[in-house]
């Protein structure tokens, strides 16, 4: 495929409700959609960078700058036989994984559409349906959290994840256990604790949690390994794993027994394939995280989850959990309670609804070869 043109759209979508974590609140999703065009066929990719540099170092604006000034010039007018050829092309740009992923996943979608293969097929996916969990943001009160948990259990989500932070942790878990018994439950701290909180973190051991996600700092694999020896709740790393090298370090040190893979956090699907393979080889449990995506990024997550290494339910909820109207012709929905069918049509598998996307689009840059 020769990249004839690239468009970078500024898109704004308001979520149905705010999503609060230990690092902040997000309700208005503002993001770049990258459209790569070859032979009149378009592939789409979504940039999931948040408004501020709090989950990782990227922002909506910084990622767009990297895409427009450093990534688009590396692909425009160029010929690629396969999206895996992008890795060496982008290597000289350090990190900026979400920016790279937006372009890289657009190329995978384009390649799938041009060769009439689904993304899942291209990746080597084996599942036709995937199990889905829910990630619930911090709530204004425990009562409101209980209402949410009740609703999501009723809808059939296969596991419940709640966000925690110092001052909002043990009592939330206790309340859920009291009210909902042994429902599959996990917590995500988004780096809100330190090693000095080991006593508190150890008190979570009594609740039979599936895992605690990213308790310590994003760049602190070493102390996660120390913490893993002090508590019995399995540790899952999210922010700390930005590459296969990070994963190898974490595994060598014993810092985690479970991995949350987010395609954008590691720079795209080639890196995701390598991480999935390593987790499989090492017998490490793996699941697909989410970044409050629109349908474009959501379909990528579903495709990658069809790989055999993804052994636990992911944060890949249906479109309606986030948006009243997604940007796809057919929104992502449950095929059965807690299960989503992996799209089998070419590329990401569902057509982008151009009118709906245009309605959310604030501006557009177009680059021609
Ligand atoms: O840590 O997994 C996280 C959302 C934004 C930033 C970080 C995280 C999250 C989520 C939401 O947990 C997952 C989703 O439903 O998309
Ligand atoms: Mg997380």
* Predicted local confidence at residue 161, as pLDDT: 98
* Predicted local confidence at residue 8, as pLDDT: 98
Q: Which residue has the tokens 């066929």?
A: 41
Q: Which atom of ligand 1 is nearest to the CA of 321?
A: 15
Question: For residues 135 and 164, what is the distance between their CA atoms, to the nearest angstrom?
Answer: 11
3-class SS of residue 115: helix
* Predicted local confidence at residue 304, as pLDDT: 98
Q: Residue 278 Cα, ligand 2 centroid: separation in angstroms?
A: 20
The per-residue pLDDT for range 39-60, each reduced to its tens digit, is 999 999 999 999 999 999 999 9
* Band (353; pLDDT cuts 50, 70, 90): very high
* Predicted local confidence at residue 28, as pLDDT: 97
* Predicted local confidence at residue 70, as pLDDT: 98
* Band (363; pLDDT cuts 50, 70, 90): very high
CB 159 within 8 A of CB 184: yes
Mean pLDDT along residues 112-125 = 98
**238 Cβ inside 6 Å of ligand 1:** yes
Question: Has this prediction a pTM greater than 0.95?
Answer: yes
Question: Whose alpha carbon is nearest atom 9 of ligand 1?
Answer: 291
CB 190 within 8 A of CB 55: yes
Structure tokens at 81: 């036989």
Mean pLDDT along residues 324-329 = 98
The per-residue pLDDT for range 63-103, each reduced to its tens digit, is 999 999 999 999 999 999 999 999 999 999 999 999 999 99
Q: Which atom of ligand 1 is nearest to the CA of 262?
A: 2
Structure tokens at 235: 């540790």
* Predicted local confidence at residue 351, as pLDDT: 98
* Band (143; pLDDT cuts 50, 70, 90): very high
Mean pLDDT along residues 12-30 = 96
The per-residue pLDDT for range 183-219, each reduced to its tens digit, is 999 999 999 999 999 999 999 999 999 999 999 999 9
CB 153 within 8 A of CB 160: yes
pLDDT, mean over the chain: 98
Which residues are identified as catalytic?
163, 262
* Predicted local confidence at residue 151, as pLDDT: 98
**109 Cβ inside 6 Å of ligand 1:** no
**86 Cβ inside 6 Å of ligand 1:** no
The per-residue pLDDT for range 246-278, each reduced to its tens digit, is 999 999 999 999 999 999 999 999 999 999 999
* Predicted local confidence at residue 139, as pLDDT: 98
- H-helix segments, 69-141: 72-75, 86-90, 97-115, 119-123
* Band (346; pLDDT cuts 50, 70, 90): very high
Question: For residues 211 and 186, what is the distance between their CA atoms, to the nearest angstrom?
Answer: 5
């Amino acid at each position: 495929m020769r990249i004839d043109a690239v468009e970078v759209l500024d898109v704004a979508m308001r979520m149905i409700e705010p999503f609060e974590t230990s690092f902040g609140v997000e309700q208005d999703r503002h993001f770049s959609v990258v459209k790569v065009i070859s032979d009149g066929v378009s592939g789409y990719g979504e940039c999931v960078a948040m408004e501020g540099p709090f989950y990782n170092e990227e922002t909506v604006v910084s990622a767009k700058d990297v895409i427009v000034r450093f990534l688009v010039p590396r692909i425009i007018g160029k010929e690629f036989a396969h999206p895996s050829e992008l890795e060496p092309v982008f290597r000289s740009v350090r990190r900026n994984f979400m920016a790279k992923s937006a372009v890289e996943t657009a190329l995978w979608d384009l390649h799938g559409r041009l060769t009439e293969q689904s993304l899942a097929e291209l990746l080597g996916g084996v599942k036709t349906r995937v199990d889905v969990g829910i990630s619930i943001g911090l709530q204004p009160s425990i009562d409101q959290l209980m209402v949410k948990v009740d609703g999501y259990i009723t809808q059939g989500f296969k596991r419940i994840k709640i966000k925690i932070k110092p001052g909002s942790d043990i009592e939330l878990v206790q309340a859920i256990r009291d009210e909902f018994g042994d429902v599959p439950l996990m917590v995500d701290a988004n780096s809100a604790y330190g090693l000095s909180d080991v006593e508190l973190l150890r008190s979570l051991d009594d609740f039979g949690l599936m895992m605690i996600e990213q308790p310590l700092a994003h760049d602190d694999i070493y102390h996660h390994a120390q913490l893993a020896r002090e508590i019995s709740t399995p540790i899952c790393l999210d922010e700390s794993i930005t590459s296969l090298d990070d994963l190898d370090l974490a595994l060598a040190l014993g810092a985690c027994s479970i991995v949350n893979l987010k395609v954008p956090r590691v720079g795209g699907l080639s890196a995701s394939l390598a991480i999935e393979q390593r987790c499989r080889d090492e017998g490490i449990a793996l699941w697909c995280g989410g970044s409050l995506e629109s349908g474009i990024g959501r379909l990528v997550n579903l495709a990658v989850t069809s790989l055999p290494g993804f052994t636990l339910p992911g944060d890949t909820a249906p479109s309606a959990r986030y948006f009243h109207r997604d940007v796809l012709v057919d929104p992502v929905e449950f095929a059965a309670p807690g299960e989503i069918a992996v799209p089998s049509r070419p590329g990401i598998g569902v057509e982008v609804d151009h009118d709906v996307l245009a309605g959310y689009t604030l501006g557009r840059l177009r680059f021609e070869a």
